């Protein structure tokens, strides 16, 4: 699943490529929005919100999408078409006046709504770690709201804080020497944990698009995906829990010694 930094970079690329472009016609392949018509609308910008993507138009419309595991957006040059195998997964096509096409492919979440109603699709999210302004106090309050909850499950809950995915959350906890199973109430400095998470994501946007947490060519990660391999800090074999054994339903890796 695309993490917050990936969506941030995607929004920046789409914004640079298409902001100011005018839509000649739209083709929305979704039962709820199949009759939507964005012809004549100017794209004013692409805005990331956690793992969500918002494309706004001058006429006050928003195209909301979430990529999850399968979705992607592509900008096709004039005269180019999607390969037949890919075209079967097309969910929305915005044909621009300049001949290009914005194609949303395999999008598991897609909605069209008035921009004034964006809160209905992203209003549940916690403070965005990649937002220009990050409300650390609000994020801290949400993290502390369920003191008995495992800290990894809390970090992955986008209602607590938006932007962290499974990889970044687990690498963050390793760097902070915190067990993924530790209760939120037992985290000594949760504010510092959130600030470190924000720093990691912001660095990934600016300097680390490969999401390399170790600074090495191999391995790129400290614990993520490294079951039974030696911890790079202490040499202990990295532990693993399958999704069905976790309260958050995600694959989990950690060092039993460094993250007691």
Q: Which two tokens stand for residue 190?
A: 């949760």
Alpha-carbon span 158 to 137, nearest angstrom: 16
- Kindly report the pTM of this predicted structure: 0.93
Distances (CA, A) of 153 to 161, 247, 259: 11, 7, 16
pLDDT for 32: 87
Q: β-strands 90-96, 43-49: how paired?
A: unpaired
pLDDT for 2: 84
Name residue 62's beta-bridge partners: 56, 113
pLDDT for 239: 98
Alpha-carbon span 260 to 254, nearest angstrom: 9
Nearest to 201 by CA among 36, 50, 43: 50
pLDDT for 1: 65
pLDDT for 147: 97
Q: Which two tokens stand for residue 2?
A: 């695309």
Please report, in tens digits, the pLDDT of each residue of the chain (260 residues total): 689 999 999 999 999 999 999 999 999 998 888 888 999 999 999 999 999 999 999 999 999 999 998 899 999 999 999 999 999 999 999 999 999 999 999 999 999 999 999 999 999 999 999 999 999 999 999 999 999 999 999 999 999 999 999 999 999 999 999 999 999 999 999 999 999 999 999 999 999 999 999 999 899 999 999 999 999 999 999 999 999 999 899 999 999 999 99
Instruction: Please report where in the chains the tokens 């979430």 appear, as a residue.
Output: 66
Alpha-carbon span 215 to 195, nearest angstrom: 20
Alpha-carbon span 144 to 45, nearest angstrom: 35
Tell me how far apart the terminal alpha carbons of the chain are, to the nearest angstrom.
28
């Amino acid at each position: 699943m695309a993490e917050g930094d990936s969506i941030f970079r995607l929004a920046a690329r789409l914004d640079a490529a298409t902001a100011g472009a005018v839509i000649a016609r739209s083709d929305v392949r979704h039962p709820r929005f199949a009759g939507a018509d964005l012809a004549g609308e100017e794209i004013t910008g692409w805005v990331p919100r956690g793992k969500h993507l918002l494309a706004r138009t001058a006429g006050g419309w928003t195209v909301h999408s979430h990529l999850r595991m399968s979705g992607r957006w592509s900008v096709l040059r004039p005269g180019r078409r999607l390969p037949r195998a890919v075209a079967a997964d097309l969910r929305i096509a915005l044909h621009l006046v300049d001949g290009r096409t914005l194609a949303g492919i395999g999008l598991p979440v897609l909605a069209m709504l008035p921009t004034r109603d964006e809160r209905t699709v992203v209003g549940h999210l916690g403070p965005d770690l990649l937002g220009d302004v990050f409300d650390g106090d609000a994020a801290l309050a949400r993290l502390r709201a369920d003191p008995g909850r495992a800290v990894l499950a809390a970090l992955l809950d986008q209602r607590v804080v938006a932007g962290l995915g499974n990889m970044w959350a687990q690498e963050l906890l390793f760097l902070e020497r915190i067990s993924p199973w530790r209760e939120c109430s037992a985290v000594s400095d949760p504010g510092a944990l959130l600030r470190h998470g924000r720093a990691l994501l912001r660095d990934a946007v600016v300097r680390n698009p490969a999401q390399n947490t170790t600074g090495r060519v191999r391995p790129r990660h400290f614990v993520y995906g490294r079951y039974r391999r030696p911890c790079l800090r202490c040499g202990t074999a990295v532990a693993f829990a399958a999704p069905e054994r976790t309260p958050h339903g995600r694959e989990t890796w950690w060092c039993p010694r460094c993250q007691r």
